[in-house]
Amino acid sequence: MADVELTGDDARFRRDVSDWLAEHVVGEYAELKGRGGPGDEDIGFDVRVAWEHDLGKAGFIGLGWPVEFGGRGATLQQQIIWGEEYARAQAPARVNHMGENLLAPTLIAYGTGEQQQRFLPGILRGDERWCQGYSEPNAGSDLANVATRAQLDGDDWLINGQKVWTSLAHVSHWCFVVARTDPSSARHQGLSFLLVPMDQTGVEVRPIVQITGGGEFNEVFFDDARTEAGLVVGEVDDGWRIAMGLLGFERGVSTLAQQVGFERELDHVIELARAADRCEDPTLRQRLVDAWIGLRLMKWNAMRSMAAKGVPGPEASISKLFWGSWHRDLGNLMIDVLGPQGLVGDALPYELTLEQKLFLFSRSDTIYGGSNEIQRNVLGERVLGLPK
Ligand SMILES: Cc1cc2nc3c(=O)[nH]c(=O)nc-3n(C[C@H](O)[C@H](O)[C@H](O)COP(=O)(O)OP(=O)(O)OC[C@H]3O[C@@H](n4cnc5c(N)ncnc54)[C@H](O)[C@@H]3O)c2cc1C
């Protein structure tokens, strides 16, 4: 807990970021207040990219990364303060969660100096966006079943195969791809973690329209796609270790950034309940309070994992299980607060309200990043030591 105590510096930091946000969330950025979150990713994308550049210039990307990697080395408390102020300012939703919060910590933990120098600055400037090429038609929960192949061809890896559910692949410059580099291997062995440029003829991205009407994720086909031989993170054939290290970041501490959006959504649900005079309904009131408590628990747990430092272990599954279920329940609560009118669309089939989009998108929270069932398996087997 000592790591997260308030200091005078923190009060100054809060003032500084709150002033900066007040000064900068104006004009077209202010028009996107509260927009671009789950289920709403297509909204104002170009403006949000410009916003990302502004954040980069002002040093608000990579806040918690160590200074030697171009970050600010901000303390835990400062990262939380930034999140709180960001939510309060209703600044537009970010566009490069996977670059900043998943790939960058993975490169810092496992990448070579050359890879760090090449890729971290592009993320810090808000110039290079990343997507995650893990899942395939026959490798979701069972990720070790990856069938995408990569073989060395001169100075390049030649990649063939298909990924699916690749979030934001259509707007990404790079993809981190788990591919089988030892053709004679099976399961977790013989996989490598490759960094692959998206802008090439061997990569085809096909959007998938989701229940929200938006196309947040995609199928990605690799047909003799290429990447440089040196763009493998960790050892060749040891990609499983790197892929799992990244999932630790995805399931654990990176949720601090996500909680910024959760906070804003919960505030919105509470406003809706007040506006509809529904706070006196004891059942609804109990659910609102439960949601509020859940968010505090999430925050304290994320802080605890961050204070522990290093690559998060299987305990990150607790965090994923908790936030996935919490956010799905918030989606339900949002629609219940609205009552029957929440079910009426603005213009069918797909002019949905923000609340409806959130409700529909939140059905996926217990699936992506590892489903609830899989998290329970991990906790049962690897944390509690129960039999398979
Ligand atoms: C919105 C969204 C965004 C996504 N973004 C990405 C992305 O950017 N990149 C990426 O690589 N992937 C992404 N995914 C894919 C996601 O990681 C997979 O959907 C997830 O891992 C589950 O795999 P699956 O869909 O193949 O389901 P399956 O693995 O086929 O599972 C189907 C059902 O069976 C259950 N099940 C499976 N195995 C077991 C078991 N051993 N024990 C108990 N129950 C089990 C699962 O819990 C689930 O309920 C995204 C998914 C969603 C919904």
Is 271 annotated in the active site?
Answer: no
User: Which one from 41, 52, 250, 355 is the annotated catalytic residue?
Assistant: 250
- Any atom of ligand 1 within 6 Å of the Cβ of 217: yes
**Under 8 Å CB-to-CB from 271, ≥6 apart: which residues?**
none
pLDDT in tens, the chain (388 residues): 334 455 688 999 999 999 999 999 999 999 999 888 878 888 899 999 999 999 999 999 999 899 999 999 998 788 888 888 998 898 999 999 999 999 999 999 999 999 999 999 999 999 999 999 999 999 999 999 999 999 999 999 999 999 999 999 999 999 999 999 999 999 999 999 999 999 999 999 999 998 888 888 999 999 999 999 999 999 999 999 999 999 888 765 567 778 888 988 999 999 999 999 988 899 999 999 999 999 999 888 877 777 776 666 777 888 889 999 999 999 999 999 999 988 887 776 668 888 998 999 999 999 998 999 999 999 999 889 999 8
Torsion of CA 51, 52, 56, 60, to 10 degrees: 90
Closest CA to 190 of 146, 156, 137, 134: 146
Ligand 1: distance of its center to the CA of 20 in Å? 39
Ligand 1: distance of its center to the CA of 290 in Å? 27
Return the DSSP state at 341: G
Closest CA to 313 of 369, 379, 259, 371: 379
The position carrying tokens 């079910």 is: 343
Label residue 99 exposed, middle or buried (CB < 10 Å: 0-12, 13-18, 19+).
Answer: buried
- Any atom of ligand 1 within 6 Å of the Cβ of 134: yes
Rounded CA-CA distance 274/337 in Å is 10
The torsion angles phi and psi of 20, rounded to 5 degrees, stand at -60, -45
The torsion angles phi and psi of 126, rounded to 5 degrees, stand at 80, 20
Q: How many CA atoms lie within 13 A of 21 on its CB side?
A: 20
